Amino acid sequence: MSRERKSAREVALDVLIAVEERGAYSNLLLNHHLDRSPLSPRDRRLATELVYGTIQRLNTLDWILDRYVKRGVCSLQPWVRQLLRLGLYQLHYLDRIPDRAAVHETVQLAKGRGHRGIAGLANGVLRAYLRDERRWPWQRDPQTVEEWALATSHPGWMVRRLQEVFGAETAKEILEANNEPPTLSLRVNPLRADREGLLRELAESAPGAASPSLLSPQGIHLRGVGSPASLKGFREGKFTVQDESSMLVAEAVNPRPGQTGLDACAAPGGKTTHLAEKMENRGRIVACDIHPHKLRLIEENTRRLGISIVEVRHADARDLTGVAEEPFDFVLLDAPCSGLGVIRRKPDIKWRKETRDIDGVAALQRQMLSSVCRWVRPGGTLVYSTCTLEPRENEEQIRRFLEDHPQFVLDEGLKDLLSPAVIQKASITPGMVRILPHHFGSDGFFIARLVRIQ
Catalytic positions are: 387
d(CA 234, CA 251): 22
Angle, helices 270-278/244-253, rounded to nearest 10 degrees: 50
d(CA 383, CA 67): 50
Contact present, 266 and 298 (Cβ < 8 Å)? yes
d(CA 368, CA 265): 10
Segment holding 445, helix H or strand E: strand 445-452
Beta bridge partners of 447: 385, 433
Contact present, 382 and 254 (Cβ < 8 Å)? no
By C-alpha distance, which of 245, 228, 316, 242 is closest to 277?
A: 242
d(CA 86, CA 14): 11
In the DSSP assignment, the letter for residue 38 is -
CA torsion, points 343, 180, 438, 148, in degrees to nearest 10?
-80
In the DSSP assignment, the letter for residue 449 is E
Q: Rounded to a whole number, what is the largest CA-CA distance in the chain?
A: 74
d(CA 161, CA 178): 15
d(CA 81, CA 55): 12
Q: Which residues of 192-263 form beta strands (DSSP E)?
A: 210-212, 219-222, 239-241, 260-263
Angle, helices 145-152/168-177, rounded to nearest 10 degrees: 20
Give every CB contact of residue 235 below 8 A, 6+ residues apart in sequence: 304
